A and B are shown apart, each in its own frame.
Chain A
């Protein structure tokens, strides 16, 4: 790869262009009385008068300020809004810990099939065998990939999966008369870990990372006791580094009856290569909107299935998908279950997309993992001469730099991230994990071609040069977007959270 630094001036950058729809307002500002975007088929039964049917006290007036626009205006409004967004379909999101990979379109197609999209969750099992088989097949795949024994597909996201896993640990310990109070969490963990632990009713104790950014096993040995219900770890950790002493960590915990919970957010480094069930994990969640390609859609929906070892199976939330005499059923008759964590059986639409993804790869899923790790290491090798690497350990699917060198010129990670936007990329993850001041967390995923990786490297190298030669340019970025840096302070001091007529 050509390593010469190409410094692009603002006018030279063509990837981000001026917008055609600068002045698109809110839909409410385009409304005019009497306009409609959707018409209903005529009523084929006798009409009723609302006041007669409900009593006048229960009838509302037409909703003040509600939109009144035509179909074309709705299409134009949202289409224009969409052009203001960056998206995976446009280019790389190097967001560490998010695994922004390609969202296969066939997944969208099958989710909308007649006989799939319209199924009611409370309809009889007799007319739901297709749905139940989808859940069953997905379960089997996820268990094979993780090396665990049983699963719940209910949780709607990773955070909910975490809480569910902890509730199951609590129930198991209580069933043994061994209720414990505390959960140990590395200080490098994602914010949902401690907040989920609190939701599950546990105290949190932070495990400091050692000088290699990994869990200090001596320190851990001193912290694990009969008061500790579980350790919540991420592997590879949030630095993108594999906790190579995981066997020792698991042993220390298991000796004292402490459960090992693994946050599966970084599964993109492991699928097809290693199984958490093999290295001592008792319970873990997966983020289907990360490793399993379901679309982020601007923030969700996701799904956070929880996989467990046999000893935790009785405590799975209800309902559980079972196979009985060749048919599938939803079983809620489970006396030791922690209960229900949400209505109905789960984010089925998300689950089926994950299955479609897994079926596309089959046993070849390893190739995706290898490409993800290759991309991260390729990028690392081509940036480590210019950016500070706080922990010089092998990276897996993501690499964490820090802004230490650029800070000498007054440029920090947030500035670099904003300048990256001018080069046509979404920023990497800034300021996380907390153990790296000025962190720059980069995860390309396997969806990026060599070409896209090279463009990203080029952009980052250019910004490093700019940080030295023209730091103001970086500190006041972005320059090429429809809108500049926004005043978050006023937004928090005097929140305006809705439109008013």
Chain B
């Protein structure tokens, strides 16, 4: 379910590092919690992000969630197909619904994030809390 080459945050973002750049999105768990996504607000290309800061929002009908950057860096590309098709976040959160691509300030920053096993365990705990 959760790709092993990705890393994950406690706020349910995923990041796939590729040398000095990375792709970021939100996880399947996140899209389940949100429900049908209706709108995505993304930063502009060139925006400088700090790890832990909010860089956009994902909206469902009844809720708005901030998206937090897992790492520090500069936005080099945004997924503008999400403007017309926000529902991709529900159908393919780990693939076609990537949100931004970044140039990393420090490529080693991702190592401190959860791997897929740890994340899987983390969301299993969360589910137990909510039950």
**Chain A residues within 8 Å of B, Cβ to Cβ:** 431, 488-489, 492-493
Top 4 nearest A-B pairs (CB, nearest first) are A492-B38, A489-B36, A488-B61, A493-B38
Cβ of B60: which chain A residues have Cβ within 8 Å of it?
489
* Residues in B71-121 with C-beta less than 8 Å from chain A: 86-87
- The listed residue with most A CB atoms (<10 A of its CB), out of B36, B39, B59, B87, is B36
Q: Per DSSP, are chain B's interface residues mostly helix, strand or loop, or mixed?
A: loop
Please name all residues of chain A whose beta carbon is closer than 8 Å to the beta carbon of B86 when the two chains form the complex. 493
**Total CB contacts across the A-B interface at under 8 A:** 14
Cα distance A24–B62 when bound, in Å?
29
For B36, list chain A residues within 8 Å (CB): 489
Name the interface residues of B38-60: CB closer than 8 Å to any CB of A: 38-39, 59-60
Q: How far is the CB of A488 from chain B (nearest CB, A)?
A: 5
B34 CB, nearest partner CB in chain A, Å: 11
| Beta-carbon contacts under 8 Å, B3-48 to A | 36, 38-39
**B87 — which chain A residues lie within 8 A by C-beta?**
493
A-B contact pairs, 13 of them (CB 8 A): A431-B62, A488-B61, A489-B36, A489-B38, A489-B60, A489-B61, A492-B38, A492-B39, A492-B59, A492-B61, A493-B39, A493-B86, A493-B87
Q: How far is the CA of A206 from the CA of B87 in the complex (A)?
A: 33
- Specify the chain A residue showing the minimal Cβ separation from B130: A437
Closest B residue by C-beta to A488: B61
A493 to B60, CA, bound (A): 9
Write the nearest CB–CB distance from B32 to chain A, whole angstroms. 15
- Please give the distance in Å from A188's CB to the nearest CB on chain B: 18
Q: Smallest distance from the beta carbon of A489 to chain B beta carbons, Å? A: 4
Q: Which residues of A contact B62 (CB under 8 A)?
A: 431
The size bracket of the interface on B is under 10
A489-B61, A493-B38, A493-B87 are known; give 8 further A-B pairs, CB within 8 A.
A489-B36, A489-B38, A489-B60, A492-B39, A492-B59, A492-B61, A493-B39, A493-B86
B88 → chain A, closest Cβ, in Å?
Answer: 11
CB distance from B15 to the nearest CB of A (A): 27
A495 and chain B: residue at smallest CB distance: B38
With a cutoff of 8 Å between Cβ atoms, the chain A residues found around residue B39 in the complex are: 492-493
- Find the A residue at minimum CB distance from B59: A492
Question: Considering residues B38, B39, B59, B62, which has the most beta carbons from chain A within 10 angstroms of its beta carbon?
Answer: B38
Cα(A257)–Cα(B71), bound, Å: 42
Q: Which residues of B contact A488 (CB under 8 A)?
A: 61
Distance in angstroms from A22 CB to nearest chain B CB is 26
CA distance A431 to B86 in the complex (A): 25
Chain A nearest Cβ from B38, distance in angstroms: 4
Docked CA distance A493–B39 (Å): 7
**A492→B61 CA distance, assembly (Å):** 7
Q: Closest residue of chain B to A407, judged by CB?
A: B131
Cα-based distance from A431 to B36 in the complex (angstroms): 18
* Residue of chain B at shortest CB distance from A408: B131
Chain B residues with CB under 8 Å of A492's CB are: 38-39, 59, 61
Once the chains are docked, how many angstroms separate the CA of A492 from the CA of B36? 10
A489: chain B residues within 8 A (beta carbon):
36, 38, 60-61
- Min Cβ gap A248→B in Å is 33
The residue on A at minimum CB distance from B85 is: A493
Q: How far is the CA of A416 from the CA of B8 in the complex (A)?
A: 36
Q: How far is the CA of A467 from the CA of B62 in the complex (A)?
A: 24
Instruction: Kindly state the separation between the CA atoms of A31 and B24 in the bound complex, as whole angstroms.
Output: 52
Chain B min CB distance to A195 (Å): 13
Separation of A218 and B38 alpha carbons in the complex (Å): 42
Complex CA gap A489/B61 in Å reads: 6
Instruction: Report the Cα distance A168→B112, complex, angstroms.
Output: 49
Question: How many Å from the CB of A103 to the closest CB on chain B?
Answer: 29
List the B residue with the shortest CB-CB distance to A492. B38
Bound-state Cα–Cα, A492 to B86, Å? 11
C-alpha gap A488/B39 in the complex (Å) = 13
Most buried by B among A431, A488, A493: A493
Quick one: closest A residue to B61, CB to CB?
A: A488
Alpha-carbon separation in the docked complex, A488 to B60 (Å): 10
> Smallest Cβ distance from B37 to chain A, in angstroms?
8
User: CA–CA, A490 to B59, complex, Å?
Assistant: 13
A314 to B70, CA, bound (A): 50
Most buried by B among A431, A488, A492: A492
- A431 to B62: give the CA distance in the assembly, Å: 11
Complex: how many Å from CA A491 to CA B18? 38
What residue of chain B has the Cβ atom nearest to residue A431's Cβ?
A: B62
Could you tell me the distance between the alpha carbons of A260 and B61 in the complex, rounded to whole angstroms? 35
Q: Which residues of B contact A493 (CB under 8 A)?
A: 38-39, 86-87
User: What is the CB-to-nearest-CB distance from B110 to chain A, in angstroms, rounded to a whole number?
Assistant: 32
The smallest C-beta distance from B126 to any residue of chain A, in angstroms, reads: 14
**B81 shortest CB reach to chain A, Å:** 14
Docked CA distance A489–B36 (Å): 6
Task: Give the complex CA separation of A39 and B36 in angstroms.
Answer: 49
Shortest C-beta distance, B98 to chain A (Å), equals 19
| Chain A nearest Cβ from B84, distance in angstroms | 9
What chain A residues lie within 8 Å of B59 (beta carbons)?
A: 492
Distance between B7 CB and nearest chain A CB, rounded to angstroms: 30
The complex places the Cα of A477 from the Cα of B112 at a distance, in Å, of: 47
Interfacial chain B residues near A431, Cβ < 8 Å? 62
> Complex: how many Å from CA A492 to CA B35?
13
CB distance from A23 to the nearest CB of B (A): 28
In the assembly, what is the distance between CA of A488 and CA of B38, in Å?
Answer: 9
B79 to chain A, nearest CB (A): 16
**Nearest CB of chain A from residue B94's CB, rounded to whole Å:** 21
B40 to chain A, nearest CB (A): 11
Closest beta carbon of chain B to A405's beta carbon, Å? 13
The smallest beta-carbon distance between A312 and chain B, in angstroms, is 35
C-alpha spacing A452/B21, complex, angstroms: 65
| C-alpha gap A431/B59 in the complex (Å) | 17
